């Protein structure tokens, strides 16, 4: 039998968390193997699809606001170095809130504390700027002019390509679940290849409960999420940036994006859907979800009443009990790290997570308690949005 090739670190999963972890580990001088079963940005992955929001607002959750503030220039600098500036669309992000809405008030306070550029908009401001949106009489807004949209599938593939240029060995291979105790010495792919390393990072999102069922099956909850792209009226610039920002309506739990690259006006329901299997769930949108999205579109954007559906997407979140990330060592294999739990908001944080994980592997240091495995419960009580 051929001897296993050895690396300093092996990262399993080439999504936003895994690709950036591999990138920063290589930047630190480590030899790195990056593996993904279906390929980076694939249609089954939580990091797949066309677009993701990057915004600084997180209510009172300063830890995630700071993470987003750190992540945005890392994304844009990497895109610039690759000649791919189009992978970030600076649409601005509009929070639509209601009077005395706690999350919005805390968001404004946190953004002000951290010195993030934002504008607080009155109802009159909203109606003057965005006549194409229907606002209730108690609405007000927060506008982040420097935030916007990451072109998700291509963005994460760009990270993988840049990591490979630095020397990361990237392969499309599926691995068998690891076994053993104390130290993991190697992993084997389903094709029989064997690779060894000093450290292993499993950043495989909704597949984490499948790889570690005894440990994570009741602590990571993949949910089905459906997204719709509607056709805008011909020649109507009201639904294209800069006239239309990326938007979030807190009370309704809906969010959306302007028509980017003529793909359509994106509308999605952020509430957690039913349990999903990332390997086998149907990627065909349901008629029930479409009806909900259409009803909302007509109510919030009256000029889109007759808009046709151009595209649909079915993906999944991989939720932890409250929405905090999972970044911690395996309790029985001390050189194995578990990185996931993006919980529907994680993509934007890829650079910050990768930088953080690489630092833990190369420099040590305690794990942030909110990211610890011990903090993950078996019942869902969503607290991070």
What is the structure's pLDDT at 1? 43
Q: Where are the beta strands (DSSP E) in 113-153?
A: 119-121, 139-144, 148-150
Q: Where are the beta strands (DSSP E) in 138-202?
A: 139-144, 148-150, 169-171, 186-188, 194-202
Task: Name residues whose C-beta falls within 8 Å of residue 296's C-beta, 6 or more positions apart in sequence.
Answer: 252, 254, 267, 269
Residue with tokens 């690489």: 358
What is the structure's pLDDT at 180? 78
What is the H or E stretch that residue 249 is in?
strand 246-249
Question: What tokens does 330 get?
Answer: 């395996």
Cα–Cα distance for residue pair 50/39, rounded to 1 Å: 15
Cα–Cα distance for residue pair 125/141, rounded to 1 Å: 9
Q: Could you state, in chain order, the average pLDDT of each consecutive group of 10 residues for the chain (385 residues)?
A: 79 98 98 98 95 98 98 98 98 97 98 98 98 98 98 98 98 93 93 96 97 96 98 97 97 97 97 96 97 97 97 97 97 97 98 98 96 96 94
Nearest-10 crossing angle of helices 152-166, 62-82: 70
Pick from 50, 149, 49: which is nearest to 90 by CA? 149
Cα–Cα distance for residue pair 261/259, rounded to 1 Å: 7
Cα–Cα distance for residue pair 371/136, rounded to 1 Å: 38
The CATH superfamily holding the domain 89-149+222-315 is D-Amino Acid Oxidase, subunit A, domain 2 (3.30.9.10)
Tell me which DSSP letter residue 347 carries: G
Angle, vertex CA 325, rays to CA 322 and CA 328, nearest 5: 120
Question: What tokens does 145 get?
Answer: 């002019």
Pick from 117, 144, 142, 140: which is nearest to 127 by CA? 140
Cα–Cα distance for residue pair 152/170, rounded to 1 Å: 19
Note whether 310 and 368 are within 8 A (CB). Answer: no
Note whether 12 and 201 are within 8 A (CB). Answer: yes
5-48+153-220+321-375, CATH topology level: FAD/NAD(P)-binding domain (3.50.50)
The reported pTM is 0.97
Cα–Cα distance for residue pair 72/50, rounded to 1 Å: 18
Question: What tokens does 16 get?
Answer: 């936003």
Residue with tokens 């800069």: 242
Query: Where do the domains of the chain lie?
Result: 5-48+153-220+321-375, 89-149+222-315
Buried b (16+ CB within 10 A) or exposed e, 333-344: bebbbbbbbbbb
């Amino acid at each position: 039998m051929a001897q296993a090739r050895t690396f300093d670190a092996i990262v399993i999963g080439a999504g936003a968390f895994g690709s950036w972890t591999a990138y920063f580990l290589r930047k630190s001088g480590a030899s790195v193997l990056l593996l993904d079963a279906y390929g980076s940005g694939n249609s089954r992955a939580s990091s797949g699809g066309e677009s993701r929001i990057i915004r600084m607002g997180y209510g009172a959750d300063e830890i995630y606001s700071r993470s987003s503030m750190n992540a945005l220039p890392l994304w844009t600098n990497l895109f610039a170095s690759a000649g791919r500036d189009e992978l970030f669309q600076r649409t601005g992000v509009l929070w639509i809130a209601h009077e005395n809405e706690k999350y919005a008030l805390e968001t404004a306070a946190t953004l002000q504390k951290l010195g993030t550029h934002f504008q607080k908009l009155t109802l009159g401001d909203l109606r003057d700027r965005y006549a194409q949106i229907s606002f209730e009489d108690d609405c007000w807004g927060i506008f982040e002019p420097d935030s916007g949209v990451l072109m998700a599938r291509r963005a994460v593939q760009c990270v993988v390509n840049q990591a490979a240029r630095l020397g990361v060995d990237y392969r499309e291979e599926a691995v068998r679940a690891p076994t053993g105790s104390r130290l993991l010495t190697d992993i084997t792919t389903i094709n029989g290849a064997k690779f060894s390393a000093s450290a292993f990072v499993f950043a495989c999102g909704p597949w984490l409960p499948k790889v570690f069922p005894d440990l994570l099956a009741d602590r990571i909850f993949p949910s089905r999420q459906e997204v719709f792209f509607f056709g805008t009226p011909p020649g109507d610039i009201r639904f294209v940036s800069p006239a239309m920002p990326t938007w979030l309506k807190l009370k309704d739990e809906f969010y959306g994006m302007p028509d980017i690259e003529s793909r359509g006006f994106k509308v999605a329901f952020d509430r957690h859907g039913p349990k999903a299997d990332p390997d086998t769930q149907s990627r065909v949108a349901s008629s029930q979800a479409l009806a909900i999205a259409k009803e909302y579109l007509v109510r919030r954007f009256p000029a889109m009443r007759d808009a046709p559906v151009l595209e649909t997407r079915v993906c999944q979140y991989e939720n932890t009990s409250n929405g905090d990330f999972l970044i911690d060592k395996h309790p029985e294999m001390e050189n194995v790290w578990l990185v996931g739990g993006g919980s529907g908001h994680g993509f934007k944080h890829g650079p910050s997570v990768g930088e953080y994980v690489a630092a833990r592997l190369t420099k040590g240091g305690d794990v942030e308690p909110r990211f610890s495995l011990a903090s993950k419960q078996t019942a869902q009580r969503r607290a991070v949005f």
